[in-house]
Chain A
């Protein structure tokens, strides 16, 4: 059962509310900024809010502030393509994301908020024998981790996604695919709102329109933060941002192995449903799914150069359309409706950075590259554990900041080119 103390959402409540004149109760309240908090979380996205939720629910730590510069979910959490999966290449990656998928599977009930997780299956196409070998590598590692993942043939692909062109004439013939039934899509905003509502109900203060301006460090230890609404005394600060991770860490004197790059996405006008699974092509840098509203949502790989600008580019949409039509030539008349960009913090080995930093009391949960949204629940749960127990747990141990100095990079580096 959920610990959420708010009036519960249910079909019955929807019905009675429909007859009543009263407004729905507030999802979260506005609070004055307290002069001190036990924990200050920077970033009101899925990572920050999930961390706050698990701190409260699993560890009873509720004197927590989440600082959000704009509105909750305004960063990567609201700009990603809402794909959830766990078919990673490395055992540590698969294990970690598998936990995330499990949390997502029960999230609607945990949070009493329908996050609309649709496990429609996730298909990563292989266009060459070497790509097929990588798919098999992933499948084999996944199976050993108990994850449903297998290599399938073109005829099986055609059955699952009839619009894909599996003839041998395209420049990128389809040799096979990695098929991952538990993968799917979700309503990303609902995940943000669900966590925010549940965390707020447990006592977390969510401060929107509140910008971090400085982190106070005294003799190597965090003692507080400065914000656009005033100072906060605290001994624990967690950087849960994407796109600004380097800038915020620099406030605590911490340098990160991160380059920020825009990642663009686009959506078409809706058409009647024709595509059930999520389709990914690593070689074509494209992923596509059809929402329950009928729109196709497209993503690609990060932009070719670093930037903090989210204005987007034309070459993204022209390249994207070329690649999508290579996969599904029949949809050339569908119209692209809107494009947008988010910021991704790319690390050298495409693994995240979670854990303590040289500044005592300053923790990071950053460097998620293009995988941040998928990891939201497990990252929140793991970071909350780390704060409560004083040290990183098994799932996040491989992802510490010190691995770059030790030279023990994660092996996702090998697979980064082939999946999202």
Chain B
């Protein structure tokens, strides 16, 4: 056994039968199961764990808890691991951070020598001139970034989320928290008890034999109650509006970490207190430790923290540390009782404590300085609940002030007392919490005494306030004198409290010392704000399991098997093409093709008032649409901006089917519901969104009639089933299909909608039946080319967030004689104004040049007068074609416009008479 490992301790958490080997900076080290990285290394005589951020000073164990700023290490690919909390595992590769080239010899310690010039905010005062050198300085500064390394090839582990509904959630498993959980459970509440450390017990764990006895009793009582769920090594990281509480569960085995999100009836905060350091010269030397740190090392891990100690105590727990040190064989050479005015003034030594000077002018030889200077209340969860904790000079710390009824506080956070008093308060709080979750009138719980603690913040010397950021008391005072004289300004200027422990160690000291310079009553008037989360959370834990759903049509398997190239269109994965979009276009133009248009939004509308709804949401007229007809419509928002377009057909007397764009399906559905519920609640309209209920296949091309007629009993003769009409019937043996004759591609086409479960069957039937016709599946790209050849605009591509309906070639549809419709007033103003942009079809004079979409159209003087919104090489016309938005003055047919290409060259184009580049009079689709 190492000389630093003690004999068996009654409360020890290590299993001496289970040795564990791991690596520390490449060297193999041995500890026991139950050891933390810090305790195992301390047991091996390691005293320096890290180098500080700015001055690269050697640092050792300070708090021996999760929040120890000095024991943050790299474990494998995991940076910034809390070494005083993380337990060792066999084979762990632990390395110190922020050291170069090594922990023992760190070249950046040169910063220590120039420390006097590195006053807070020094970087704001220099590197100003010459400006050209600043990027170089910036690079040097960033070399000093603290923290571990991330690996670009790191493969993320599994993380997990859980949702919980609990009546009472207790944050903190010390005596008060356990008592609260027991009482709440006995009050009939479901309880979740969350403890940050590896076991329940709080400070009792490292206490004396009576403490251990009390702990056993309470723990047994907790464990035998089935309605208490105990989570250890877990932390309540946040409390949000309406008692939405987050818990990070760290040790679970099959997943790395789990985030629990809980809606909580009552939150009982029993997070105890954190011991805070005392500020004096040398207070960061390895060997300067908190009293709770030495008690943890001795009693939990059987590690001897030093050989010869000076103890500065100001409270009972500090006194208890003396007993523990002595029982561990540490020579307590001097006790400084701060209650009697004896304090430490200075600690000296190179890389660890050698001598301690006290306030009486005596110097003591020691390798350990233990300080018990008082407490910090970790009010994080209370701040998040809206509390502004108030300073109690008597207790020398902040105490809760005012909380909402669904948040309560007990234990050390609420005040001070013996174990029995804390347990009684916890019980009363837990019982009251359970009552409140049943909706009973809140009753106050008798308060704990604040406790007595002398106000000890800084000695007559200066030392470190923030260990992670290397901020000293001198820095804080000089910043205040310089004008950064409110706590928030000082915090931002000095970066005190901005490091990995986020003020948990230094918050109160910082306020007190800043107060020395500005206003000694600052502690009383200020409050400390703690922002969520209470403890850092891995991004993986927050994200949880990857869940990014996409939508597929019923024909997806076929598309994949046929070697499609997918494209993400909103949530949908769709075939962009099957190899050659131009060939697909030619196949459609000259024969027949089929495209899966299932993502098309479909809304089933029934009722006697459907025409009124259509009249209102579309700009055009709908009152006279006969059964069997379909009509194209444009939908505008209240500001007159085009929001969607599509066709709607009348299938029966009071049955309509509306289609929307694929991406607009959801918003149009909501839009209709909005008007029906908030505008016209008395109308008889029943609406169902049925996009996924139908597979939609467009059969397009001059031979489409021939193909479809082979599969259906519907009479397709042009005289009985004309353009813009709809029929219902059986297709390919599938009953209940509806077919409408429309054509986005500009060809004769039939859009067949079949029940989705028959979608693939229909697709394959079409392919079989059309084999001799050369039927060709085509994708989105071919469709886009063909619609551009036809000059049809796409909402959101050829239009934008300011595109009011006039000017987009749909003026014929806008019926201003309707009494009202969505967007009417703005469209009226737009028409009166007249100077709105126009969508026009353009062709470059050089037919080979296809200007990229979004290329700008430039006036003679170089100003922007428009942009290309869609462009392609047309396989049908063998030339470049485009749609563009231009100012009204450049919209007349024949106008020559200049387009600036992405390479800076200019190409001239001419405005066409109409939007269509191909078959402008539509003879093909009316065939």
Which residues does A use to contact B, with CB under 8 Å? 9-11, 13-15, 17-19, 23-29, 70-74, 78, 91, 105-106, 108-109, 112-119, 127-130, 133-134, 136-137, 139-141, 143-144, 151, 162-163, 170-173, 187, 189-190, 193-194, 208-209, 268-274, 292-294, 309, 311-314, 317-318, 320-322, 324-326, 329-340, 349, 407, 409, 411, 413-414, 416
Contact of A114 among B124, B135, B569 (CB under 8 A): B124
28 contacts between A and B (CB under 8 A): A14-B117, A26-B483, A27-B482, A27-B483, A70-B488, A71-B486, A108-B134, A118-B135, A127-B568, A140-B867, A140-B902, A143-B904, A144-B858, A270-B146, A271-B145, A274-B150, A292-B145, A309-B241, A311-B386, A318-B261, A321-B540, A330-B151, A332-B156, A332-B538, A333-B78, A333-B156, A335-B80, A338-B532
Decide if B755 is an interface residue (CB 8 Å cutoff): no
Q: Which residues of A contact B489 (CB under 8 A)?
A: 71-73
Known contacts A137-B867, A163-B152; 4 further A-B pairs (Cβ under 8 A): A136-B902, A318-B542, A336-B538, A414-B800
Roughly how many angstroms separate A197 CA and B205 CA in the complex, as a whole number? 53
Chain B residues with CB under 8 A of A272: 145, 147-150
Chain B residues near A73 (CB-CB < 8 A): 489, 492
Looking across the interface, which residue of chain B has its beta carbon closest to that of A409?
B802
Pick the contact of A78: B386, B492, B550 (CB < 8 A): B492
CB contact list, B133-183 vs A, under 8 A: 134-135, 138, 141-143, 145-157, 159, 161
User: Could you tell me if B539 and A128 are in contact, using CB atoms closer than 8 angstroms?
Assistant: no
Is the beta-carbon distance between B531 and A318 smaller than 8 angstroms? no
| Contact between B240 and A312, CB atoms less than 8 A apart | yes
The answer to whether B539 and A324 have CB atoms under 8 Å apart is yes
Are A74 and B537 interface neighbours, CB within 8 A? no
Q: Which residues of B contact A18 (CB under 8 A)?
A: 114, 116-117, 119
Decide yes or no whether B692 CB sits under 8 A from chain A: no
A299 to chain B: closest CB distance in Å? Answer: 15
Enumerate chain A residues within 8 angstroms of B80, measured Cβ to Cβ. Answer: 269-271, 334-335
Complex contact B147–A339 (CB within 8 A): no
Tell me which residues across on chain A come within 8 A of B695, comparing CB atoms.
none
B819 to chain A, nearest CB (A): 22
Is residue B105 within 8 Å, beta carbon to beta carbon, of the partner chain? no
Using known A-B contacts A27-B484, A313-B240, determine if residue A335 contacts B536 with beta carbons closer than 8 Å. yes
Q: How large is the interface on B (under 10, 10 to 19, 20 to 34, 35 or more residues)?
A: 35 or more
Q: Contacts A114-B125, A322-B544, A335-B537 given: A294-B119 contact, CB under 8 Å?
A: no
Output the least CB separation between A382 and chain B (Å): 21
B221 CB to nearest chain A CB (Å) = 32
Q: How far is the CA of A295 from the CA of B854 in the complex (A)?
A: 36
**Chain A residues near B682 (CB-CB < 8 A):** none
> In the complex the two chains form, is A340's CB within 8 Å of B531's CB?
yes
> Do B802 and A413 have beta carbons less than 8 Å apart?
yes
Inter-chain contacts of A13 with B (CB < 8 A): 125
A62 to chain B, nearest CB (A): 19
Number of A-B contacts (CB under 8 A): 286
- Pair A413/B801 contact, Cβ less than 8 Å: yes
Given contacts A24-B482, A140-B855, A141-B856, contact A332 B125 (CB under 8 A): no
Evaluate whether A23 and B481 lie within 8 angstroms (CB atoms) in the complex, with A335-B80, A336-B537 already known. Answer: yes
Q: Are A332 and B157 in contact (CB under 8 A)?
A: yes
**A334 and B538 contacting across the interface, CB-CB below 8 Å:** yes
Rounded to whole Å, the gap between the CB of B600 and the closest CB of chain A is: 17
A337 and B539 within 8 A (CB): no
List A contacts of B259 (CB < 8 A): 318
Report B-chain residues with C-beta under 8 Å of the C-beta of A326.
Answer: 548
Question: Which residues of B have CB within 8 Å of A173?
Answer: 568
Check B923 for interface membership: any CB of A closer than 8 A. no
B542 lies within 8 A of A292 (CB): no
Contact between B79 and A208, CB atoms less than 8 A apart: no
**Contact indicator B478/A414 (Cβ below 8 Å):** no
Q: Which residues of A contact B147 (CB under 8 A)?
A: 269-272, 294
CB 8 Å contact bits of B481-500 with A (1 = contact, 0 = none): 11110101100110000001
- Residue pair A336, B539 in contact (C-beta under 8 Å): yes
Q: For A268, what are the chain B residues with a Cβ–Cβ distance below 8 Å? A: 536, 539
Smallest Cβ distance from B147 to chain A, in angstroms?
4
Using A71-B486, A136-B902, A294-B142 as known contacts, say yes or no to A318 and B500 having CB atoms under 8 A apart.
no
A10 CB contacts on chain B under 8 angstroms: 125-126, 128-129
Tell me if B126 and A133 are in contact (CB < 8 A): no
Residue from the set B77, B142, B855 with the largest chain A CB neighbour count within 10 Å: B142
Does any Cβ of A come within 8 Å of B809's Cβ?
no
Given A109-B131, A270-B146, A330-B153 in contact, is the A317-B537 Cβ separation under 8 Å? yes
Question: 7 tightest A-B contacts by CB?
Answer: A294-B145, A332-B540, A321-B542, A335-B536, A171-B548, A270-B147, A9-B125
**Please, which residue of chain A has its CB at the minimum distance from the CB of B480?**
A23
With A108-B131, A318-B544 known as contacts, the answer to whether A333 contacts B154 (CB < 8 A) is: yes
Encoded as 1 (CB less than 8 Å from any A CB) or 0, chain B from 809 to 844 comes to 000000000000000001001000100000000000
Residues of B within 8 A of A163 (CB): 150, 152
Judge whether B384 is part of the interface by a CB distance below 8 angstroms: yes
User: Which of B125, B482, B853 gathers the greatest number of chain A CB atoms within 10 Å?
Assistant: B125
Q: How far is the CB of A311 from chain B (nearest CB, A)?
A: 7
- Contact across chains for A144 and B492 when beta carbons are under 8 A apart: no
**A338 to chain B: closest residue by CB:** B531
* B721 to A: closest C-beta gap in Å: 35
Residues A118 and B138 in contact, CB atoms below 8 Å apart: yes
Docked complex: B860-886 residues within 8 A CB-CB of A? 862-864, 867
Smallest distance from the beta carbon of A190 to chain B beta carbons, Å? 5
B291 within 8 A of A: no
Check B543–A332 contact: CB distance below 8 A.
yes
Which listed residue, A70, A144, A151, A334, touches B150 by the CB 8 Å rule?
Answer: A334
B218-255 CB contacts (< 8 Å) to partner A: 238, 240-241, 244, 246
Tell me how far the C-beta of B489 lies from the nearest C-beta in chain A, rounded to whole angstroms. Answer: 5
Interface residues of B in 755-812 (CB under 8 A from A): 796-797, 800-802
Asked if B482 contacts A26 (CB within 8 A), the reply is yes
Residues in A with CB closer than 8 Å to B500 are 269-270, 337
* Shortest distance between the CB of A149 and any CB in chain B (Å): 11
Contact A112 B128 (CB under 8 A): yes
**A409 — which chain B residues lie within 8 A by C-beta?**
802
Q: Are B145 and A273 in contact (CB under 8 A)?
A: yes
A28 and B485 CA atoms in complex are apart in Å by 10
Across the interface, A333 reaches (CB within 8 A) one of B116, B129, B150, B488, namely B150
Q: How far is the CB of A257 from chain B (nearest CB, A)?
A: 12
Q: Which residues of A contact B483 (CB under 8 A)?
A: 26-29
Residues of B within 8 A of A72 (CB): 489
Residues of the A chain whose Cβ atoms lie less than 8 Å from the Cβ of B502: 337-338
Which A residues are in CB contact (< 8 Å) with B238? 314
- Chain B nearest CB: distance from A207 CB in Å? 13
Residue ID in chain A nearest B517 by CB atoms = A23
Q: Most chain-A CB neighbours within 10 Å: which of B128, B238, B386, B802?
A: B128
Instruction: Enumerate chain A residues within 8 angstroms of B904, measured Cβ to Cβ.
Output: 143
Cβ-defined contact, A9 with B124, below 8 A: yes
Q: Of all chain B residues, which has the CB nearest A139?
A: B902
Chain A residue, CB-CB nearest to B487: A71
Inter-subunit contact B141/A108 (CB<8 Å): no
Q: Is the CB of A312 within 8 A of B797?
A: no
- A144 & B134 in contact (Cβ 8 Å cutoff): no
Q: Is the CB of A334 within 8 A of B902?
A: no
Q: Which residue of B lies closest to A20 (CB)?
A: B116
Q: Which residues of A contact B114 (CB under 8 A)?
A: 18
A114 contacts B482, CB within 8 Å? no
Residues of chain A contacted by B261 (CB below 8 angstroms): 314, 318
B671 touches A (CB below 8 Å): no
**What B residues does A335 contact at CB under 8 A?**
80, 536-539
Q: Which residues of A contact B478 (CB under 8 A)?
A: 23-24
Most buried by A among B117, B159, B855: B117
- Whether B116 pairs with A113 at a CB distance below 8 angstroms is no
A314 vs B236: C-alpha distance in the bound complex, in angstroms?
12
Q: Is the CB of A330 within 8 A of B156?
A: yes
Find A116's partner among B138, B153, B829, B853 (CB 8 Å cutoff).
B138
